[in-house]
Amino acid sequence: MTHADNSLPELHPADGPWSIYLHVPFCASRCGYCDFNTYVLSAMGDDAVAGYLDAAHQELELAADALGDAQPPVSTIFFGGGTPTMLSPVQLGELIDHIRTLWGIDPDAEVTTEANPETLSVEVLAGLLKAGINRLSMGMQSADEYVLTVLDRRHRPGRAVEMAQLARQVGFDDVSLDLIFGAPGENFDSWRHSLDVTLTAEPDHISAYSLIVEEGTRLAGRIRRGELPMTDEDDLADKYLLTEKILTEAGYVNYEVSNWARPRSGRDHRCRHNMAYWLGYDWWGIGPGAHSHVAGTRWWNVKHPATYRNVLGDRVLPVDDYEVLGDVQRHEETVLLRLRLADGLPMADLSEVECMRATEVVEQGLGTMEEGRLVLNLSGRMVADRIITDLLV
C-alpha cells in the first residue's frame, strides 16, 4: 500500500551490494515515443542545470543521513535520463566524487552513463573516463534514417557506431548499444540492417527492446490519427527471433529477455546495475522522479525539477510517495523479474502449487529445470509474460 505521509519509515538496508541511480532529466529535444520524466533543457531556464546539481548533491547528503553508517561501498552507479551527457564530464565526476566521500565506491564498481550519440566527442569521452565512468550505454535505436525520423531521434545513421568505436579508442572497455525494434514502417530488412551495423561496432553489450507505444506520447497521437501504422505483434515476434539468431551467431549470450552480452577479455559484460534491480538488491535513486528501493520499502521522488529543487532547498527528502512491499508483492516481483533472467527462477521460491505449474511449463517445451531453477528457453522467452501470469494465478 502507498502512504499519504511522504516521510520515509526507518530504513534497514539489507546486507549485500547496493547501488546509486542518478536521474538527469534534461534532453536537447523530446523523442516522440518517450514517456520518461524528461524536459527540454532550452525551455527550463538558465539556472536549470545548476539548480539540479545543487539539489542532487543535497539529496545525496540526506540519503547518507537516512541510511546511517553501516552502508558498504557502492557497487554500481548509473546515470540515466533524459540525457546525462547534457551535463559536463566534470559535473558528472563531482557527483561521483560526492558518492565516494559519503560511502566509498567499490574498487571494482561499475559506473555507467547513458548518452545520446550527438552529445559525444573525443573530448567528452575522454572527460567521462577521467571522471570515473567506466561503462558507456548509448541510445542508437536504429541504423535506418527513416526509423530514426519516425522516432524523432536527432543523430544521423552511423553516428552511434562511430562514437562506440571512438569510445574504445579513448579507453572504454565496456560499451553498450541500445536498440528499438518494431517502429511504425520498419520492415524486416531494415531491422536486420540495424543489427548488422550494430555488430560492426563490436559492443560488449546490446539491449534490444520492442517498441511500446505509450499513451500521451507524440507517437501515440500520430498512430491514433492514422499518420503511422500501429506496431504488429507478429512482426515484433519475428524481429525478436531474428535478433536472437544474429546476436547468438555473433557470440553474444542472452542473459535477460531483452539483453545480450559478450565475454571479452574474460570479463562479464552483463549490466551489473540492472542485475541489481532484477535481483531485488537495494538502490537509492537521486533526481526528479527517481525511484528507490531499500529492504522492502520503495519510494519515488517528486517529478518536476523545480519542485525537486525547492523541496531539497528546505533540506527535506523529495519523496512524492512510498510503499512498503508485503510478502505477496515481493514474491510476485521475484517471479516476474527472475524468470526473465537466463539464470532462471529458483524453485525454492515457489509454492507447491506454483512448482506444479512450473513443471507444466517444462512439459509444454517452454523451459528446462537446471540445478533447481526454472529456466525459460527461446520459445518460453517469447511468451514470458503469459508464463509469469499463469504461475502466479
Residue pair 51/305 in contact (Cβ under 8 Å)? The answer is yes
The b-or-e profile of 54-71 (16+ CB within 10 A means b, else e) is ebbebbbeebbeebeeeb
Q: How far is residue 141's CA from residue 197's CA, in Å, rounded to a whole number?
A: 11
Q: What is the pLDDT at residue 6?
A: 59
Rounded to 5, what percent of the chain is helix, strand, coil? 40, 25, 35
Residue 234, CB half-sphere, CA atoms under 13 Å: how many? 0
Q: Which residues pair with 291 in a beta bridge?
A: 300
Distance CA 84, CA 269 (A): 21
Strands 74-81 and 18-24: what pairing? parallel
Region of residue 255 (phi > 0: left; psi between -120 and 50: alpha; otherwise: beta): alpha
Over residues 65-106, the pLDDT tens digits come to 999 877 899 999 999 999 999 999 999 999 999 999 999 999
- CA distances 82 to 7, 155, 321, Å, are 27, 15, 22
Residue ranges of the chain whose pLDDT lies below 70: 1-6, 264-265
pTM to 2 decimal places: 0.95
- pLDDT of amino acid 276: 95
For the chain, give the number of residues.
393
Pairing of strands 39-40, 26-27: parallel
pLDDT for 2 equals 47
- In tens, the pLDDT along 115-158 reads 999 999 999 999 999 999 999 999 999 999 999 999 998 888 89
**All 3 cell numbers of residue 184?**
511504425
